[in-house]
Amino acid sequence: MDRGEKLVLVDVREPWEYELCRIEGAKLVPLGSLAANVGGLLGVDEVICYCHHGMRSLDAAAWLRFQGIEKAKSLSGGIERWSTDVDPHVPRY
């Protein structure tokens, strides 16, 4: 991730889920590897995390805020809601 980016969309799902479907432009950082990759997010203005339904991303966003990334947020409803409400071309699983 490039420092100085305004917004980064972070997919905290597992690689197999990312292969099934993803939001264009998202960066895959599975929840289990978030701690090892937090340094790459420190210079970003805003981080939006997402997962399948929104539970893992809530944990990820809360943890990132605790690490000092104040504008870390979770995409409500995850990629499932994105597919139904925003982009029906994103496959559901």
Residues designated catalytic: 51
Answer whether 40's CB lies under 8 Å from 8's CB. Answer: no
The two tokens of residue 57 are 């991303």
Helix H or strand E segment including 20: helix 15-20
Q: Which residue is it, tokens 């090892």?
A: 36
The two tokens of residue 40 are 């790459």
Answer whether 61's CB lies under 8 Å from 38's CB. Answer: no
